Amino acid sequence: MIVITGASGFIGSCLLEKLNREGFNDIIIVDDFSIPQKQQNIVFKRYKAQIDKTDFLEWLRSNTEEIEMIFHFGAISDTTIMDVCLFNKWNLDYSKSIWKSCVEKKIPFIYASSAATYGDGSNGFNDDESQLLILRPLNPYGASKHNFDLWALGEKQKPPFWTGLKFFNVYGPNEYHKGKMASMVFHAYNQIMQFGQLSLFKSYKDGFSDGNQLRDFIYIKDILDICLWLYKTKENSGIINIGTGISSSFNQLGEAVFKALEMPVNIKYIEMPDNLKDKYQYYTEANISKLRKIGYKKSFTTLESGIEDYVINYLKRGAFY
């Protein structure tokens, strides 16, 4: 039996579909299932039972069935929320409780960390665990993920296998419900379809021209391949970066969306809101040497190919994965 928290969300619902396609149906899904916008993500998918996230800790403590793996992808992920108590409750304390049950019941545990833990990137993007203390996240969301990483590393008792996945900029189907927190690919597509034009933030940092701020964009299908590989191998516990190792500009992203839509490129540059200027990441690029060192060999989808698949096969059709 496999458990997925955040199962009606973006990554969780795609993972559920991936597992179904691989023949796994004995799955417990956990989330807040009262949110109508997320329900389409789990329609037609196969699972054993769904459990509300408020009931899950008690279920986990009392459940006697063998659990092969918990994928803990449920979290408060809105980077604009400033309520530290909310993040402490759901991203930190809730995760600690699941970890402790995994220790007690000897359950392998994979959880979602985030590239937001790296802050402005001035300390690099190296997932060497000895370097984590120097990181300075820019918002409470990033801090909550960082604090759990540090707590997990400091625990003497650990699950038989565990890993924290520092996701970089993930895009792909099933993010329709995320609103302002959806990927830039999603927003670019909608802007272009509505206005025939894409608006990008101007740059306010030397060395970065307008639209040439850089991100490591990773397609959701690559994330799913890594998750399945980790499930099968269950080796080399620790924290690892989950990105492509290649940074691309927002201009390149926009051009790829226009190309997928067979439309001429039309990009304008707009002022960045003042409240974002001191919290904006101008560059992210995952160091994926640890991922390669522990044995993951599959190549990553290029930005242009990922966007083409996402736009043509999902966004234009309103389809789900």
In a domain, 65, yes or no: yes
Non-local CB neighbours of 24 within 8 Å, separated by 6+ positions: 2
Q: What angle do CA 313, 316, 321 make, to 5 degrees?
A: 45
Q: How confident is the model at residue 64 (pLDDT cuts 50, 70, 90)?
A: confident
Active-site residue identified among 47, 141, 189, 283: 141
- How many CB atoms are closer than 10 A to CB 175? 25
What is the tens place of the pLDDT at every residue in 134-153? 999 999 999 999 999 999 99
Does any domain span residue 261? no
Tell me if 48 sits within 8 A of 257, measured CB to CB: no
Q: Is residue 198 part of a domain?
A: no
pLDDT band of residue 276 (cuts 50, 70, 90) is: confident
When pLDDT is cut at 50, 70 and 90, the band that residue 277 belongs to is confident
**Is residue 142 in some structural domain?**
yes
Residue 98 predicted with pLDDT over 90: yes
Report d(CA 184, CA 188) in Å as an integer: 6
Mean pLDDT of 307-318: 98
* Position 15, amino acid: L
**Is 141 annotated in the active site?**
yes
Q: What is the DSSP letter of 283?
A: B
- Ranges assigned E (strand) in the chain: 2-5, 27-31, 49-52, 69-72, 109-114, 162-167, 169-171, 198-201, 214-215, 217-219, 238-242, 248-249, 267-270
Marked catalytic residue, from 100, 105, 178, 234:
178
> What's the pLDDT at 294?
97
Is 41 within 8 Å of 13 (Cβ atoms)? Answer: yes
State the average pLDDT for the chain.
Answer: 96
- 279: pLDDT strictly greater than 90: no
Does residue 194 fall inside a structural domain? no
pLDDT band at 199 (very low <50, low <70, confident <90, very high): very high
What per-residue confidence (pLDDT) applies to 241? 98
> How far apart are the C-alpha atoms of 305 and 219, rounded to whole Å?
9
**Percent of the chain having pLDDT more than 90?**
95
pLDDT-derived band at 196 (thresholds 50, 70, 90) equals: very high
The number of distinct structural domains making up the chain is 1
Question: What does the pLDDT average to over 22-29?
Answer: 98
Q: Is 105 a catalytic residue?
A: no
What DSSP assignment string belongs to 223-240?
A: HHHHHHHHHHH--S-EEE
Q: pLDDT value at position 127?
A: 96
CATH number at residue 105: 3.40.50.720
Output DSSP code: residue 243. S
DSSP structural state of residue 116: G
User: Domain for residue 252, yes or no?
Assistant: no
pLDDT of the residue at 275: 83
pLDDT greater than 90 at residue 280? no
Is residue 206 in a domain?
no
Residue linked to tokens 């080399």: 236
Q: 83 lies in which domain range?
A: 2-171+217-245+285-300
User: Is residue 302 predicted with pLDDT exceeding 90?
Assistant: yes
Q: Which residues contact 191 (CB under 8 A, 6 or more apart)?
A: 197, 198, 199
DSSP3 helix / strand / coil % (the chain, rounded to 5) = 45, 15, 40
Assigned domain for 307 exists: no
* pLDDT at residue 193, rounded to an integer: 98
Structure token pair of residue 211: 């639209």
Contact 113, 149 (CB under 8 A): yes
Q: What pTM was computed for the model?
A: 0.97
pLDDT at position 8 is 98
Distance CA 195, CA 103 (A): 52
